[in-house]
Amino acid sequence: MATATVSDSGDEANRYRSAQIGLTRLLVRDVRGLRRLILPQRLRESVPDWLTAMNTVIVQYAQVSAALAADFYGAQREAAGVAGSFTVPLADPPPPEQTEASLRWAAKDLWPRESDKASPAQLEPMDVRLVQAEKKAEQVAQKLVTDTGRGTVREAVRQDRQATAWARSAARGACAFCKMLAARGAVYEQGTAGFRAHDGCHCGVVPVFKGQRFELSPHAREWERIYREYAQGHSGDQLRLFRRALAEHDSNPLPGSH
């Protein structure tokens, strides 16, 4: 039976988010296993090996992320009961140059600097810098992989004649930035370019099809109300005001926000 309404927190959307989070856990496990390739006494020789291995892992997981997204899109399309068939185009994994640039940023504090030119992070002991680099690399890898899945859904919406728009789906514990964008609903039309995401972002893309009406989930309606009451109309200051209002009024605040 076709569904007349679709939400940012439907059963399929929640299952898809859970699958992507599970994929991230496996990705992080493998990324951590590669840190052994970085030899502190031989950074110049060992970091390129690490970059190559990381790229291989990211490509593999990005392909899985795209496949999960395609399955999700297909399930949403079937539930919408729209006419005709459609083959979801899988987004390509991130290009090697993008992956390398992102990972080099993650590892930049490993390299020695003169004390008068070093940042506070670069003055930390090497074991601390390795842990920090590993955490940044995990976040970089997660974003690159998840972006591939998000890109798959967005491109499907763009190409599918039965699709009309997409909405952002954010978890209850998402940051203020993600909650603010998710509260806008299905305002992103077929040709909307890009998906604003930060490292560690688990937001998803929910397609909307002809004949469907998008409805915000109860928690997203709460974010929308908080935004309208406390942040709307304050040009240039909306996010700061919204973040402060969430800390006081959101029933699903971030840990430590109170």
Q: Measuring CA to CA, which residue among 59, 13, 3 is closest to residue 168? A: 13
The DSSP bridge partners found for residue 7 are: 215
Check: CB of residue 258 under 8 Å from CB of residue 247.
Answer: yes
Tokens of 254: 């971030």
pLDDT digits (tens, 9 = 90+) for 51-64: 999 999 999 999 99
Q: What is the pTM of this model?
A: 0.90
Q: Give the DSSP per-residue string, 209-224.
A: ETT-EEE--HHHHHHH
pLDDT value for 253: 62
> How does pLDDT run across 19-55, given as a tens digit for each residue?
999 999 999 999 999 999 999 999 999 999 999 999 9
pLDDT of residue 112: 84
**Does residue 180 have a pLDDT over 80?**
yes
Residue 148: per-residue pLDDT: 97
Q: Which two tokens stand for residue 11?
A: 């059963």
